Copies of this chain bind each other. A is one copy, B any other.
């Protein structure tokens, strides 16, 4: 792994925020980047070509779900996730840790790893650092994640201390077990809501030496101010020349806060999940498309948006499809929400390139509009 996998291309004074480029075997990712979540090797309802037209440069898939079904052997035989899901751009897989700890039944944590029962057929399964590497090596993503323990909030300090140590031992085992030099293995910082434990976790994870670092264990039930404090505290503990990834976060506002703290990469199910529930982000604020007020509203979902949903369909039509539970609506709304998130990131990157630090504190709506204008001007 050479340091050249990540280059900071703009680093304006007066903010830890930075613009950069992450280089992977399947292409470059401009950062700060939002990764669309494709849990089961599909960003729900989106065809790969459509993801591209939303502006997606990288997608995320979930090791836990794919380990259970259809299994890493099949995906490896299909040419990895890229071949299986017909997405030729960069892919990141999580390690399965978060899902084992949040979704799996009958889980039991030992030094070896995490035992749990398959939600599909009840068989006993184990994810360990070695197994998580084996599975992720088979899935073939460009960026893979160390196997960590993700603890809930609140957790006793004593347990968090013990867990941080275990996650560090697991991280070292991941480095040893990782068998492919065409995949970047990122370490994950834990430490619950304890600033000193976050520091210990960060320093010792960095000492192990990864090409990138994630901040894990946030968005697990803590209040927003605490989340924001922990991000602000942890991000600067990570090397300035490596990509920083805040796992599973969040709303546009959460992401913008973290960008201002110097975080480079994000993923979250919110834009896709909320779309399926009829909640949309627009330049004029949130829209719940089911609301009766949109019944005869022939305006676009967002008149300032140039996505293929907003340029073709009215709110009244989208509401009609939503009320009728028509399959097309999830797709049209997902497209728009992803376009909102991804264009907001374009706006963020444009502000960073221009050294416009003040703009980073403007609203998600303003940064979205800046992103739309940036893309219309043909800037990357």
Binding site for B on A (CB under 8 A): 40-42, 44-49, 69-70, 74, 77-78, 84-86, 276, 295-296, 298, 308, 312-314, 316-317, 320-321, 323-324, 326-328, 330-332
Contact = CB atoms under 8 A, between A and B. Distances in A.
Nearest to A44: B327
12 contacts: A42-B326, A45-B327, A70-B316, A70-B323, A74-B316, A77-B296, A77-B298, A78-B314, A78-B317, A86-B312, A86-B317, A276-B327
A110 to B, nearest CB: 30
A225 to B, nearest CB: 36
Nearest to A77: B298
A320 B86 CA distance: 14
A190 to B, nearest CB: 30
Given A86-B312, A324-B40, A326-B44, A298 B332 contact: no
B332 A47 contact: yes
Contacts of A77: 296, 298
A328 B42 contact: yes
Nearest to A48: B312
A41 B317 contact: yes
A44 B327 CA distance: 6
A323 B47 contact: no
A58 B82 CA distance: 35
Question: For A295, A296, A317, which residue has the most chain B Cβ atoms within 10 angstroms?
Answer: A317
A328 B327 CA distance: 9
B317 A69 contact: no
A298 B44 contact: no
A70 B320 contact: yes
Given A313-B86, A321-B42, A74 B328 contact: no
A312 B78 CA distance: 12
A87 to B, nearest CB: 10
Contacts of A320: 40-41, 69-70, 74, 84
A113 to B, nearest CB: 25
B323 A69 contact: yes
Contacts of A295: 70, 74
A45 to B, nearest CB: 4
B327 A327 contact: yes
Contacts of A46: 328
Given A70-B316, A313-B86, A316-B78, A330 B332 contact: no
Given A45-B331, A70-B320, 20 more contacts: A40-B321, A40-B326, A41-B320, A42-B321, A44-B326, A44-B327, A45-B327, A48-B312, A69-B323, A69-B324, A70-B316, A74-B295, A74-B296, A74-B316, A78-B316, A84-B317, A84-B320, A85-B317, A86-B317, A331-B331
The 7 closest A-B pairs by CB, nearest first: A45-B327, A86-B312, A70-B320, A42-B328, A40-B324, A42-B326, A44-B327
A308 B47 CA distance: 10
Contacts of A49: 308
Nearest to A326: B42
